[in-house]
């Protein structure tokens, strides 16, 4: 938490007015949703499936290096599309309005070891409701890292650059463990909780299926290309994991992003909720291809304001949202991917050490706003 | 091992290859109408019938089990990106050689699906299908004398019958505002010319609504005829009353199209159909709260409309989105976010 509250200049009325202006942006998109949007997601899903089929087909011949390269690249992109633009966004209910039972948050399952329903709870419900609230939003460091000065330092944090690197490589397993709240639940008393056991079993089943598919069935189907297909799938999963980890780190970790104290969200109004999402998220700038490959999470600020708007609309929404940032004199944290990734990693390194200065307790945001 | 067991093994293996998707998710990309796929159809042509009615030619998927004349089919059509389901009578004969079926749709004012099908639907479009259903059908044993009493688009199931089965003595009384509004008019007049049908057209724009008592004059032997009637509720109510008054109600078969949806109000009685609880709700309290207060186990999440953890099927009635004011009416497959929806009239939540 920064010592100076960057929203201190706003009055309570201004914050509510900001909320109304954001509601208007949301209503406009909802009123305009239609055929083109539906065609978009269907096209992306169909393209992803074709790309995966072709890539897996090419990998049957991965004993030949060019086929290995081509197939691995294609499979990596297909897996990224599945998780980012398709899975993440469908599981947010962004496409529920189409009433297509096959493209719906209640039925979708993704190429990921964390079962969709568990991820929806930890991500949609906990992270999106309590964005960047210390103690409520486990995404702040995923329970293994310290990403804000206000979080207590522990010698364990000395290793956090390493933890973060390992987490990046095996990100989907990290997410599964995180969704299970493994750290908390492995304590003796909780281990036997039937609800936790059922969820752990579901994760186990999902892992078994995913591993069997990627590391047994497809390599076996490749016959003489068994080992090269195995290596290709491992590489594709690694690429997908590192990519999604990087994109997701850019959402809330770069310098300039605010975190909040638990008590600051007591009796939070709609306007204040919006403001917290605005100050607690960061974007990635770049080309259309870049936005697509991040699943439009490059528009993290817009996504956090409107998590259920179709992802293909975030780009146009971003223009209006940015104008509101300017109008209300707030900092819109954004930058190209390398810069944002660097900024997030620098924070991981910096906070692996205890704070240089003694911890300064910052005034409660809420109280300051009321006072203003 | 039997071939069925072998096939199921092979399918299981295929599922391991495609997990977490199903093999059908990939097969649908190339062959959405194949046997074993979810039942779908492809629109192959749309022929205008009148200014506001058109016949839609559909090639059903391989799983289509055929129909009986007079039955209807539910179709799911994507209108402005939203899948909407409606029921339409089948108008094609059951023995059509090319395997296609037809429905004939009249565009009703503000009807999203009917206007889409009549004016915008393009050949090549995939639609979702259910199997044909309905008991507004002809009996196995041919009746000697038949009367068809129809109005407006109520002619559609009857046309399916007329095209399918010939009777020796058939009379039809059909009501439409003007001659040019009579769907299938040319075909009906051809039947009349071939002496296969006696037809009375009632043009309600000039003649006024059909007074059911006029049947004595239009079809003197109406009471002896096996009668199939289809049209607006007013006509059918009058017919049912008339037939029972004369003690021949067993000769009358009626088909009622979708009852009109109650006008959405503010609050209403909420039924939780799975638990059988019923409570009164105002128009401002989220259905999630209403259910929880009534002791129904409701799925919940963020309670502010962002996590989609509380979506639940809406079985009947209408609800209002508390954020946008938008009304959602119950239709098969409609799920609502109970944390940001309130009762807009009586409704039925599947919990």
pLDDT tens-digit profile of B16-67?
Answer: 999 999 999 999 999 999 999 999 999 999 999 999 999 999 999 999 999 9
Chain-chain contact of B80 with A105 (C-beta, under 8 angstroms): no
Are the Cβ atoms of B81 and A46 closer than 8 angstroms?
no
DSSP code per residue over B248-296: -GGGEEEE---PPPPPP-SBEEEEETTTTEEEEE-SSS-HHHHHHHTT-
| Mean pLDDT value of segment B266-279 | 93
The whole-angstrom separation of Cα A23 and Cα A101 is 28
Rounded distance, CA B77 to CA B89, Å?
15
Judged by CB atoms closer than 8 Å, whether chains meet at B335 and A35 is answered as no
d(CA A331, CA A129): 22
Check pLDDT > 60 for residue B262.
Answer: no
Is pLDDT of B112 > 80? yes
ipTM metric: 0.90
| Candidates A49, A99, A101; nearest CB to B25 | A49
Whole-number Å distance between alpha carbons of B277 and B62: 42
Å between A271 CA and nearest CA of chain B: 13
Kindly tell me the sign of the dihedral angle through the C-alpha atoms of A135, A140, A146, A147. Answer: negative
Average pLDDT score, chain B: 94
3-state secondary structure of B186: helix
Residues of A (52-91) whose Cβ lies below 8 Å from B: 53
For B335, the closest of A106, A125, A206 (CB atoms) is A106
Q: Which residue has the tokens 């939003």?
A: A137
Helices (H), chain B: 3-18, 23-30, 112-115, 155-164, 185-193, 204-207, 215-218, 233-245, 287-293
- Give the tens place of pLDDT for each residue, B56-105: 999 999 999 999 999 999 999 999 999 999 999 999 999 999 999 999 99
Q: What pLDDT score does A368 carry?
A: 41
What does the pLDDT read at residue A370?
A: 40
Mutate to test the interface with A, among B27, B83, B306, B314 (most CBs of A within 10 A): B306
Spell out the residues 6+ positions from residue B151 whose beta carbon is closer than 8 angstroms to its own.
Answer: B174, B175, B176, B204, B210, B230, B231, B232, B235
Residues of A (213-242) whose Cβ lies below 8 Å from B: 213, 217-218, 221
Quote the pLDDT of residue B324. Answer: 87
Burial of A339 (0-12, 13-18, 19+ CB in 10 A): middle
Test the B interface: residue of A22, A38, A99 with most B CBs within 10 Å: A99
B132's tokens = 């044909």
Q: How far is B6 from chain A, CA to nearest CA, in Å?
A: 18
Picking from A33, A98, A125, the nearest residue to B83 by CB comes out as A98
Q: Considering only CA atoms, which of A369, A88, A110, A121 is closest in space to residue A251?
A: A88
Peptide bond into B227 cis (omega under 30): no
C-alpha distances in Å from residue B109, one per residue of A78, B52, B245: 45, 10, 35
Cα B240 from Cα B242, distance rounded (Å): 5
Of the candidates A322, A326, A327, A287, the one whose C-alpha atom is nearest the C-alpha of residue A305 is A322
A81 vs A296: CA distance, rounded Å: 11
Check residue A5 and give its pLDDT: 86
Q: What distance in Å separates the CA atoms of residue B197 and residue B172, rounded to the nearest whole number?
A: 7
State residue B286's pLDDT score.
96
Question: Are A121 and B78 within 8 A, CB to CB?
Answer: no
CB pair distance less than 8 Å for B16 and A111: no
B78/A124 CB distance under 8 A: no
For residue B263, what pLDDT is reported? 58
Distance from the A352 Cα atom to the nearest Cα atom in chain B, whole angstroms: 32
Question: If you count DSSP H runs as helices and E runs as strands, how many of each does chain B have, helices first?
Answer: 9, 17
pLDDT interval class at B1 (50, 70, 90): low
How far is A236 from B332, CA to CA, in rounded Å?
Answer: 40
Residue B30's Cβ-count burial label (10 Å; 0-12, 13-18, 19+) is exposed
Contact A37 B81 (CB under 8 A): yes
Q: Write out residues 155-214 of A within 8 Å (CB-CB) of B.
A: 206, 209-210, 212-213
Chain centroid offset of residue B268 CA = 26
- Return d(Cα A79, Cα A218) in angstroms, integer: 15
CA atoms of B146 and B167, how far apart (whole Å): 8
Quote the distance between the C-alpha of residue B317 and its chain's center: 17
- Closest CB from B19, B29, B301 relative to A50: B29
Q: How far apart are CA A116 and CA A108, in angstroms?
A: 7
- In sequence order, what are the residues at sequence separation of 6 or more whose Cβ sits closer than 8 angstroms to the Cβ of residue A302? A283, A309, A314, A317, A318, A321
Dist CA A105 CA B80 (whole Å) = 20
Q: Quote the CA–CA distance of B106 and B48 in Å, as a whole number.
A: 10
Lookup: tokens for B240 = 């049912």
Q: Which one of A33, A93, A221 has the shortest CB-CB distance to B81?
A: A33
Q: Which chain A residue has the Cα nearest residue B127?
A: A100
Alpha-carbon distance of B117 to B148, in angstroms, equals 26
Contact list in A for residue B308 (CB cut-off 8 A) is: 92-93, 96, 105-106, 120, 124, 308
pLDDT of residue A143: 82
Task: Please check whether residue A347 touches B, CB under 8 A.
Answer: no
Angle between helices B3-18 and B23-30 (to 10 degrees): 90
Of A98, A105, A210, the CB nearest to B308: A105
Q: How many angstroms away from the CA of B23 is the closest CA of chain A? A: 11
**pLDDT tens sequence for chain A (372 residues):** 445 789 999 999 999 999 999 999 999 999 999 999 999 999 999 999 999 999 999 999 999 999 999 999 999 999 999 999 999 999 999 999 999 999 999 999 999 999 999 999 999 999 999 999 998 998 888 888 998 888 889 999 999 999 999 999 999 999 999 999 988 888 878 888 899 999 999 999 999 999 999 999 999 999 999 999 999 999 999 999 999 999 999 999 999 999 999 999 999 999 999 999 999 999 999 999 999 999 999 999 999 999 999 999 999 999 999 999 999 999 999 999 999 999 999 999 999 999 876 555 554 444 444 433
Q: How would you class B260 by CB atoms within 10 Å of its CB: exposed for 0-12, middle for 13-18, buried for 19 or more?
A: exposed
**pLDDT given for residue A369 in this prediction:** 42
State residue A157's pLDDT score: 95
The chain B residues in contact with chain A (CB within 8 A) are 13, 16-21, 25-26, 29, 78, 80-84, 301-302, 304-309, 311, 323-324, 326, 333-335, 337
């Amino acid at each position: 938490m920064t010592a100076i509250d960057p929203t201190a200049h706003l009055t309570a009325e201004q914050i509510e007015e900001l909320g109304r202006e954001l509601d208007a942006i949301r209503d406009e998109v909802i009123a305009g949703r239609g055929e083109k949007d539906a065609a978009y997601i269907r096209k992306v899903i169909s393209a992803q499936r074709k790309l995966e089929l072709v890539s897996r087909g090419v990998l049957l011949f991965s004993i030949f290096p060019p086929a290995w390269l081509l197939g691995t690249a294609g499979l990596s992109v297909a897996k990224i599309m599945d998780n980012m633009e398709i899975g993440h966004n469908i599981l947010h209910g962004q496409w529920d309005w189409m009433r297509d039972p096959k493209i719906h948050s209640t039925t979708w399952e993704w190429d990921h070891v964390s079962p969709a329903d568990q991820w929806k709870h930890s991500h949609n419900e906990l992270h999106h409701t309590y964005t960047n609230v210390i103690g409520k939003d486990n995404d702040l460091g995923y329970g293994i890292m310290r990403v804000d000065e206000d979080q207590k330092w522990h010698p364990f944090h000395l290793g956090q650059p390493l933890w973060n690197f390992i987490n990046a490589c095996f990100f989907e397993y990290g997410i599964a463990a995180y969704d299970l709240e493994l750290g908390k639940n492995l304590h003796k008393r909780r281990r036997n909780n039937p609800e936790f056991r059922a969820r752990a079993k579901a994760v186990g089943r999902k892992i078994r299926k995913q591993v069997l598919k990627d590391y047994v069935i497809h390599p076996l189907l490749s016959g003489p290309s068994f080992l090269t297909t195995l290596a290709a799938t491992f590489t594709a999963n690694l690429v997908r994991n590192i990519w999604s980890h990087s994109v997701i780190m850019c959402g809330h970790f770069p310098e300039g992003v605010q975190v909040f104290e638990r008590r600051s969200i007591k009796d939070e109004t709609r306007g204040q909720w919006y403001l917290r999402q605005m100050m607690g998220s960061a974007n990635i700038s770049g080309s259309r291809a870049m936005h697509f490959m991040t699943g439009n999470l490059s528009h993290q600020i817009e996504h956090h304001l409107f998590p259920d708007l179709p992802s293909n609309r975030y780009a146009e929404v971003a223009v209006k949202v940015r104008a509101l940032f300017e109008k209300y004199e707030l900092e819109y944290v954004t930058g190209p991917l390398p810069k944002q990734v660097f900024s997030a990693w620098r924070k991981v390194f910096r906070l692996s050490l205890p704070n240089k200065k003694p911890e300064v307790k910052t005034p409660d945001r809420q109280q300051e706003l009321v006072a203003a | 091992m039997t071939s069925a067991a072998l096939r199921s093994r092979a399918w299981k293996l295929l599922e391991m290859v495609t997990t977490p998707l199903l093999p059908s998710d990939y097969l649908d990309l190339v062959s959405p109408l194949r046997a074993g796929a979810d039942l779908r159809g492809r629109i192959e042509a749309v022929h205008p019938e009148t200014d506001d009615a058109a016949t839609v030619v559909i090639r059903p998927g391989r799983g289509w089990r055929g129909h009986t004349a007079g039955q209807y089919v539910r179709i799911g059509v994507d209108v402005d990106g939203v899948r909407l389901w409606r029921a339409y009578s089948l108008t094609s004969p059951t023995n059509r050689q090319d395997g296609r079926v037809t429905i004939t749709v009249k565009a009703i004012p503000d009807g999203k699906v009917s206007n889409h099908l009549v004016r915008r639907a393009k050949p090549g479009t995939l639609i979702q299908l259910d199997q044909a259903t309905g008991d507004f059908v002809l009996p196995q044993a041919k009746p000697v004398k038949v009367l068809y009493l129809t109005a407006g688009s109520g002619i559609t199931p009857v046309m399916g019958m007329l095209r399918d089965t010939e009777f020796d003595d058939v009379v039809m009384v059909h009501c439409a505002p003007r001659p040019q509004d009579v769907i299938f008019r040319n075909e009906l007049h051809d039947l009349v010319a071939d002496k296969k049908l006696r037809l009375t057209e009632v043009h309600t724009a000039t003649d006024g609504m059909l007074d059911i008592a006029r049947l004595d004059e239009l079809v003197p032997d109406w009471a002896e005829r096996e009668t199939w009637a289809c049209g607006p509720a007013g006509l059918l109510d009058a017919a049912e009353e008339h037939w029972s008054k004369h003690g021949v109600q067993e000769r009358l078969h009626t088909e009622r199209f979708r009852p009109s949806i109650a006008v959405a109000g503010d609050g209403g009685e909420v039924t939780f159909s799975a638990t059988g609880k019923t409570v009164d709700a105002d128009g401002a309290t989220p259905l999630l709260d209403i259910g929880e207060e009534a002791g129904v186990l409701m799925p919940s999440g963020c309670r502010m409309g962002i996590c989609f953890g509380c979506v639940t099927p809406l079985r009947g009635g209408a609800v209002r989105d508390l954020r946008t004011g938008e009304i959602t009416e119950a239709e098969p497959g409609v799920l609502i976010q109970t944390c940001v929806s309130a009762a807009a009239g009586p409704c039925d939540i599947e919990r």
